[in-house]
């Protein structure tokens, strides 16, 4: 028997009892819709959390710091962020870019305003890859020296001393216009431990967009200049003397004090690692922590959220599954009734040459068709319910309305894979529900059926 004949015959049989078939399909529609809508709520939860997290920062960036030094710790146990370490991290699979970073902070002035800034040195050419983006001006490039890019909140670090208002007035938080800084100069004063002072004049060539909050309070500059600045501030540093003494006193200390100092000098404040995707971020972040770094990524939080969502989905999916189970029992019942009515017919088909296989598949096809129809229209219902939920439910999850330009948070999200899954699942349910009736049909004795039919 050809497959299309099987399908045509099954379809024809299905519509002999229209009312019953429609009711059975309706059961599957409700079952499918309840599973899909329930799962879509869980997916919507994860998606909205992801969206919120990506407002705090990129999900593809890992921030790596060396673990804290403490006396008594064996040298080599703690990972130091040296050029060597940076090169090592760059080799990890899934890492697309690594930039070491040096932080230096100091008093600053801008026009007549006073304040302070945190200056962060990065590889200027890597800024774009590290997901920096400007709202105005441009990012740094290879040739920049004292050109900088300022975060969107940096302007709020400055205040006008001539105005009476207190800069730390909590009732009225300062709200400067970050554009004020663009193409202006910031003077940064640095002191070393010998009380010498140097003034750097920094030219602001770009303002970072507000998309990522983690960058908004910093000023970014080329790392080559930051190295020189740090060299200056470290001159005559007390800590260095202590460090030197400590290394000399330590009986187990294998490294000489001078090499230790050299090591200390070439270390970086932190490093930014760019990865391919969220999954890589989580894997590499864990890997770096395991090998002794302080690695942190916003994506790390996803784990907990996804775990919670999974549990949420399992409960909701379970409720949906029960509905679908009831629908499956409905299919089985319909098929058994149909076989009971068609006993004689099945016997005739057997006598004139239908094999067990064909009889079985005829009934399995009928029950799968019920599943498919239920799945198809169930998905239609799901999309309708989903858009209703998103329309009327948005006031619950977006209290106080939406900010202009902000994307609405979707309560219910039906991704393409869920569509495919729902269709296959409902067909599968139909198929499974048909097994028992189909076996009944093939076990029918044609002779007895024809005698008493």
Residue whose CB is less far from another protein, 113 or 350: 350
CB of 5 to another protein, least distance (A): 5
340 touches another protein by CB under 8 A: no
Size of the site for another protein (CB under 8 A): 24
Beta partners for residue 200, in sequence order: 188
Kindly write down the DSSP assignment for every residue of 191-221, as one continuous string.
E-TTS-EEEEEEEEEEEE-TT-GGGTT-EEE
CB of 375 to another protein, least distance (A): 25
CB of 312 to another protein, least distance (A): 47
Beta partners for residue 222, in sequence order: 122
Residue whose CB is less far from another protein, 1 or 179: 1
Among residues 1, 305, 431, 432, the one that binds another protein under rule CB under 8 A = 1
356 touches another protein by CB under 8 A: yes
Among residues 84, 88, 277, 345, the one that binds another protein under rule CB under 8 A = 345
CB of 345 to another protein, least distance (A): 6
Distance from C-alpha of 213 to C-alpha of 122, rounded to nearest angstrom: 18
Residue whose CB is less far from another protein, 13 or 390: 13
CB of 22 to another protein, least distance (A): 17
Residue whose CB is less far from another protein, 180 or 358: 358
Among residues 55, 355, 406, 439, the one that binds another protein under rule CB under 8 A = 355
Kindly write down the DSSP assignment for every residue of 413-442, as one continuous string.
---HHHHHHHHHHHHHHHHHHHHHHHHHHH
Core vs surface per residue 163-176: b (16+ CB within 10 A) or e: eeeeeeeeeeeeeb
Rounded (10°) CA dihedral 225, 227, 230, 232? -70
For the chain, report the end-to-end CA distance as a whole number of angstroms. Answer: 25
344 touches another protein by CB under 8 A: yes
The footprint of another protein on residues 433-452 (CB under 8 A) is 446-447, 450-451
> What's 134's DSSP letter?
E
Among residues 71, 72, 173, 353, the one that binds another protein under rule CB under 8 A = 353
The footprint of another protein on residues 358-397 (CB under 8 A) is 358
CB of 438 to another protein, least distance (A): 16
Distance from C-alpha of 132 to C-alpha of 150, rounded to nearest angstrom: 11
CB of 8 to another protein, least distance (A): 9
| Those residues with Cβ within 8 angstroms of residue 216's Cβ, 6 or more apart along the chain or in another chain | 151, 152, 153, 154, 208, 210
The label of the residue with tokens 């970050």 reads 178
CA dist 206 to 134, 188, 215, 266, 406, Å? 6, 17, 13, 29, 24
7 touches another protein by CB under 8 A: no
Stretch of 340-348, 364-372, 405-413, 418-426 lying at the interface with another protein (CB under 8 A): 340-348
Among residues 5, 83, 245, 248, the one that binds another protein under rule CB under 8 A = 5
Site for another protein, rule CB under 8 A: 1-2, 5, 9, 12-13, 16, 344-345, 348-356, 358, 446-447, 450-451, 453
């Amino acid at each position: 028997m050809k497959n299309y004949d099987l399908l045509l015959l099954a379809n024809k049989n299905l519509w002999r009892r229209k009312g019953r078939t429609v009711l059975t399909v309706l059961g599957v529609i409700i079952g499918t819709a309840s599973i899909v809508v329930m799962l879509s709520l869980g997916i919507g939860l994860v998606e909205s959390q992801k969206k919120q997290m990506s407002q705090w920062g990129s999900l593809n960036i890992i921030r790596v710091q060396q673990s804290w030094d403490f006396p008594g710790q064996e040298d080599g146990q703690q990972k130091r962020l040296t050029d060597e370490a940076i090169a090592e991290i760059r080799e990890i699979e899934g890492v697309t870019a690594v930039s070491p970073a040096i932080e230096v902070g100091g008093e600053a002035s801008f026009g007549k305003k006073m304040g302070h800034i945190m200056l962060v040195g990065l590889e200027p050419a890597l800024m774009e890859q590290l997901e920096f983006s400007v709202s105005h001006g441009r990012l740094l490039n290879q040739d920049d020296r004292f050109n900088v890019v300022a975060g969107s909140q940096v302007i709020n670090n400055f205040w006008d001393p001539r105005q009476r208002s207190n800069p730390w007035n909590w009732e009225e938080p300062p709200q400067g216009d970050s554009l004020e800084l663009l193409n202006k100069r910031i003077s940064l004063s640095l002191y070393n431990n010998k009380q010498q002072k140097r003034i750097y004049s920094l030219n602001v060539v770009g303002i970072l967009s507000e998309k990522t909050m983690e960058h908004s309070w910093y000023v970014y500059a080329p790392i080559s200049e930051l190295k020189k600045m740090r060299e200056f501030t470290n001159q005559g540093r007390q800590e260095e003397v202590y460090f030197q003494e400590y290394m000399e006193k330590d009986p187990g200390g294998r490294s000489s004090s001078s090499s230790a100092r050299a090591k200390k000098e070439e270390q970086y404040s932190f490093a930014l690692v760019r990865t391919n995707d969220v999954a890589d971020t989580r894997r590499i972040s864990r890997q770096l922590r395991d090998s002794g770094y302080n690695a942190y990524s916003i994506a790390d939080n996803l784990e907990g959220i996804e775990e919670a969502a999974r549990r949420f989905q399992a409960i909701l999916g379970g409720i949906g599954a029960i509905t679908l189970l009831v629908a499956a029992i409905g299919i089985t019942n319909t098929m058994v009734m149909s076989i009971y009515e068609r006993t004689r017919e099945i016997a005739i088909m057997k006598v004139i040459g239908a094999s067990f296989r064909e009889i079985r598949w005829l009934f399995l096809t009928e029950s799968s068709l019920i599943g498919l129809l239920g799945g198809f229209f169930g998905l239609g219902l799901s999309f309708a319910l989903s858009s209703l939920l998103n329309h009327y439910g948005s006031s619950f999850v977006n209290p106080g309305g939406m900010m202009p330009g902000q994307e609405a948070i979707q309560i219910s999200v039906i991704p393409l894979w869920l569509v495919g899954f729902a269709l296959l699942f409902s067909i599968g349910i139909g198929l499974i529900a048909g097994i028992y009736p189909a076996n009944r049909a093939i076990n029918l004795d044609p002779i007895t059926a024809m005698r008493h039919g």
